[in-house]
Structure 1
Amino acid sequence: MSALARAAVDLGAIAGNVRTIAAVTGTDLMAVVKADGFGHGAVPVARAALRAGAGWLGVTSASEALALRDAGITAPTLSWLHRPDDDFASLIAAGVDVGVSTTTHLHAVAAAAHRLGAPALVQLKADTGLARNGAGGDDWPELAGWARKYEVEGSVRVRGVWSHLADADVPGSPALARQVTTFEEALRVARGAGLDPELVHLANSAAALSAPTTRYDLCRIGLALYGVDPFGATGPGAFGLRAAMTLRTTVVNVKRVPAGTGVSYGPEYVTCGRTTLALLPVGYADGLTRAAEGRAAVWLGGRRCPVVGRVAMDQCVVDAGDLPVSIGDPVVVFGPADGERTPPTVGEWARWAGTNPHEILTGIGARVARDHHHEGAESS
């Protein structure tokens, strides 16, 4: 049975973005493939990124890391968000680096390593101003001290020290310089405790592309990996990134209606003249958030047509005006520009919804089929 909507993922674009970013940073790259590769498919994206030269993979959870290992991917991988009672033994046995932000987690990781009889690879995270995960204040020297103690005992090997930036996508933000200073102090404390991490990393996509002082040994690329300009450009970005995903569907019903026709629930939209309404079989369960109502558009019949009325769970309505629309006509919800063909971008959908592109991409539901191709060659 065919899906009502399909997300075409260009792995050639993923690979090209890795090479483009690496040329800017001059560092190794960590391809962040959490949340099923930002909705693109973690395993195929990881393979494409690694083939293009990325040296590391980054995920949020133990389950994501182990899924990569189950797929036969053995590349260095960092998993950074866990409960203290997570199955750290499985991560250690799989050779996954464990991100550690508290002494509670460090004790649990060391205990699991001791039971397993093999040292855990850990990367200590400092809180440099984001006030989320990571250790800061007096907690950081304590964490570094315990990590060194466990290193001496042989249950832990501290492979990295890292942190995350709060607003690197805001050009000229003074917070970035403050975070770099705080990070440098955290490194000084860690080294003073006797730690000698081989990897130091701070930069996310935006910082990797624009802030040389944040690059250190490794840059973590998430949004930019998928071809979205982290600074919000809606056209071809200055960095030469290529959007990797195109979300497509088809028209499943067409109505020619008079002025005064209410559309969808409410109705909150009423036609102001005679027009053609096209029904699309995609809704908020497929990633077309209701927050974009009244602003969103799709590419239909060679131009942008507005989405009108309330977006439902499974469908939405497009006002096609006087276009000669038929059932089965192709629709691009978002995707990269191609010559004179300029469908909406995922960045525009994010702006219409008052959110970020990450939420749009990861919100695309499971019933949207993913088709992976590489430079025109289909692959499974």
Structure 2
Amino acid sequence: MNETASLRARAEIDLAALRANVRALRERASGAQLMAVVKSDGYGHGAVPCARAAREAGATWLGTATPHEALALRAAGLDGRIMCWLWTPGGPWREAIEADIDVSVSAMWALREVVAAAAAAAAADRPARVQLKADTGLGRGGCQPADWPELVAEARAAERTGAIRITGLWSHFACADEPGHPANAAQLAAFRDMVAYAEKEGVEPEVRHLANSPATLTLPEAHFDLVRTGIAMYGVSPAPELGTPAELGLRPVMTLAAAVALVKDVPAGHGVSYGHHYATPAETTLGLIPVGYADGIPRHASGRGPVLVGGTVRTAAGRVAMDQFVVDLGGDRPEAGAEAVLFGPGDRGEPGVEDWAVAADTIGYEIVTRIGSRVPRVYVNETAEPSGGTGP
């Protein structure tokens, strides 16, 4: 038995699928550059291997939420453009500047901190690369339109001193996963207005960007100079309304599997797991799947979460516990150690990420990002195919 086969559980990450997804998304990007977003450890897939594979497939930018995620990419040897956007006061501005990371600024306090850090940086002759974020209607990060003139004016003043270089203007959609939502057109118009104002005041951005994964797929008018692809890069549909991964030309990258730990006969009426929310309707066999909510299996999917065992899709019987859950095998008797596939690309009839999202009343993003560190990532197809290959 090889090392992978003996694992309690594993998340198999197909890097050829990821490269193929990046190429497919680049084709949809209307000539814009592509930022591969690898925040939250690559949406649970592993930031560094996924960043490398995305670069191989033509991603010109990498994106993270926190500066520490961005700095970890640099420490792993990843070069080229990297941007991070989720800052709090006292963050590692100086380290980011010295690592040539583009930093996002949404408010005056952040601009003043980055200017001060630029003055103190060891590479004092290299300005901080700053991207100004506009709140065009998401109501989350970003500068409100009423405050935009002040932020632009102070940023331009800092740029004239050589402390910073304004490399980008950007914003984020609230409803791009809902085609036709009126907020999309309103945000697009607001972004154009705020970009036009900044450029009138002398800002010359290298990139203007607004489109996330769903906007990359459905709103070509929002592509501008750069698109930021996160969940779609991993082969998960941004929303069921947009289509399945296959319908979008994408292939799921993660397959989550576990080894069946125990198979046993039980009589009719036998309670299963905490609270006995499930009792066997007849004499049957039960299979123990050795993953639980400590591994990221959503407890909200108790009684509903699907898993492929022995060629048949079963359903979690009763409560998902911290380390394990049970399936009713209906009299079948797979061997201990048989593979149980929770989700994957569907090649063998296994469930997909969206099936678990529906079972847990959540979104596919949460299903993949919550898979915990107890589940080892096993990378396949790590070597890029020769130039011109099409991947899976």
TM-score (norm 2): 0.93
The 5 A counterparts of 1:39-118 are: 39-116=44-121, 117=124, 118=126
The 5 A counterparts of 1:1-380 are: 3-25=7-29, 26-116=31-121, 117=124, 118-232=126-240, 235-338=244-347, 341-374=348-381
The offset of 1:303, in angstroms, is 1.3
The offset of 1:324, in angstroms, is 2.6
The offset of 1:58, in angstroms, is 0.2
**Whole-Å separation in 2 of the counterparts to 1:76 and 1:242:** 26
More displaced 10-residue stretch of structure 1: 320-329 or 219-228: 320-329
Using a 3 Å threshold, how does the CA distance of structure 1 residues 376 and 97 change in structure 2: closer, same or farther? Answer: closer
Code of the aligned partner of 2:63: G
Equivalent residues of 1:97, 1:123 under 8 A apart: yes
The DSSP-based 3-state class of the residue aligned with 2:197 is: helix
**Whole-Å separation in 2 of the counterparts to 1:318 and 1:96:** 48
Code of the aligned partner of 2:46: G
**Whole-Å separation in 1 of the counterparts to 2:55 and 2:303:** 41
**Whole-Å separation in 1 of the counterparts to 2:383 and 2:83:** 31
Question: What 5-or-longer segments of structure 1 have no aligned partner?
Answer: none
Code of the aligned partner of 1:46: A
Code of the aligned partner of 1:262: G
Code of the aligned partner of 2:42: G
The DSSP-based 3-state class of the residue aligned with 2:12 is: strand
Using a 3 Å threshold, how does the CA distance of structure 1 residues 299 and 235 change in structure 2: closer, same or farther? Answer: farther
Equivalent residues of 1:234, 1:347 under 8 A apart: no
Equivalent residues of 2:263, 2:333 under 8 A apart: no
The offset of 1:356, in angstroms, is 1.2
The offset of 1:137, in angstroms, is 2.7
Question: What 5-or-longer segments of structure 2 have no aligned partner?
Answer: 385-392
The DSSP-based 3-state class of the residue aligned with 1:308 is: coil
The offset of 1:188, in angstroms, is 1.5
**Whole-Å separation in 2 of the counterparts to 1:308 and 1:294:** 5
* 1:253-279 deviation line (CA, Å, top 9, x unaligned): 112111111000011111111111100
**Whole-Å separation in 2 of the counterparts to 1:237 and 1:370:** 24
**Whole-Å separation in 2 of the counterparts to 1:280 and 1:351:** 20
Code of the aligned partner of 2:11: A
Equivalent residues of 2:81, 2:101 under 8 A apart: yes
Code of the aligned partner of 1:73: L
Equivalent residues of 1:234, 1:345 under 8 A apart: no
* 1:122-149 deviation line (CA, Å, top 9, x unaligned): 1110001110000013211111111100
The offset of 1:95, in angstroms, is 0.2
**Whole-Å separation in 1 of the counterparts to 2:7 and 2:161:** 55
TM-score (norm 1): 0.96
**Whole-Å separation in 2 of the counterparts to 1:125 and 1:17:** 27
The DSSP-based 3-state class of the residue aligned with 2:274 is: coil
The offset of 1:235, in angstroms, is 4.8
The offset of 1:300, in angstroms, is 0.5
**Whole-Å separation in 1 of the counterparts to 2:151 and 2:293:** 43
The offset of 1:198, in angstroms, is 1.3
How many aligned positions are there?
375
Report sequence identity in percent. 50
**Whole-Å separation in 2 of the counterparts to 1:113 and 1:3:** 48
The offset of 1:234, in angstroms, is 7.5
The offset of 1:294, in angstroms, is 2.0
Equivalent residues of 1:3, 1:367 under 8 A apart: no
* 1:306-325 deviation line (CA, Å, top 9, x unaligned): 11111111000011112232
**Whole-Å separation in 2 of the counterparts to 1:314 and 1:186:** 50
The DSSP-based 3-state class of the residue aligned with 1:86 is: coil
Using a 3 Å threshold, how does the CA distance of structure 1 residues 195 and 375 change in structure 2: closer, same or farther? Answer: closer
Equivalent residues of 1:3, 1:368 under 8 A apart: no
The DSSP-based 3-state class of the residue aligned with 1:342 is: coil
Code of the aligned partner of 2:225: D
Code of the aligned partner of 2:380: H
**Whole-Å separation in 2 of the counterparts to 1:56 and 1:288:** 32
**Whole-Å separation in 1 of the counterparts to 2:88 and 2:149:** 22
